[in-house]
C-alpha cells in the first residue's frame, strides 16, 4: 500500500501535502479548528454580556425614574439607613442542610 502510494507521484504528493497541512504548517487544521471553537465561545460570551448590559440599563432606567425605587435600591444593595434608624444585618448561611432549608431555619 505504502509503496503503491509513493510510486504514483500525484498520490504521494497529495498525501504529503495533507500531512503537512494537518500537522506541520503554521495554519494547520488542528489550530484552525481550535481557533474556530474559541471564536464560537467568545461570540457566546459577547451575546451574554450584551444581554446583561441591557438588563442593567433597564434596571437603571427603572430606578432613576422613581425616587422610592432609588431608596429601596440604596437600602438593599448598599445597606444605607436613615439618621434615626438602626440597621441589623443578618448573614445568610449557604451551607444549610436539606432539612434546615425545608423547615426554614
Entry pTM? 0.53
**Residue with more model confidence, 79 or 95:** 79
Is residue 14, in this structure, part of any structural domain at all? yes
In this structure, is residue 90 part of a structural domain?
no
Dihedral sign for Cα atoms in the order 70, 71, 73, 78:
positive
Judge whether 31 lies within some domain: yes
Question: Containing domain of residue 35, as a range?
Answer: 2-78
Q: Which three cell numbers stand for residue 2?
A: 505504502
Q: Specify whether the CB–CB gap between 47 and 41 falls below 8 A.
A: no
The number of domains in the chain is: 1
What is the predicted pLDDT for the residue at 49? 96
Task: Please check whether residue 95 lies inside any domain of the structure.
Answer: no
Q: Which three cell numbers stand for residue 57?
A: 440599563
- On average, the pLDDT of the chain sits at 81
pLDDT band per the 50, 70, 90 thresholds, residue 42: very high
Amino acid at each position: 500500500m505504502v509503496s503503491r502510494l509513493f510510486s504514483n507521484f500525484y498520490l504521494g504528493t497529495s498525501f504529503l501535502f495533507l500531512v503537512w497541512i494537518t500537522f506541520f504548517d503554521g495554519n494547520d487544521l488542528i489550530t484552525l479548528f481550535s481557533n474556530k471553537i474559541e471564536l464560537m465561545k467568545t461570540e457566546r460570551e459577547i451575546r451574554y454580556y450584551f444581554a446583561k448590559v441591557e438588563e442593567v440599563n433597564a434596571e437603571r432606567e427603572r430606578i432613576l425614574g422613581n425616587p422610592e425605587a432609588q431608596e429601596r435600591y440604596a437600602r438593599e444593595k448598599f445597606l444605607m439607613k436613615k439618621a434615626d434608624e438602626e440597621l441589623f444585618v443578618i448573614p445568610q448561611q449557604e451551607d444549610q442542610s436539606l432539612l434546615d432549608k425545608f423547615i426554614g431555619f
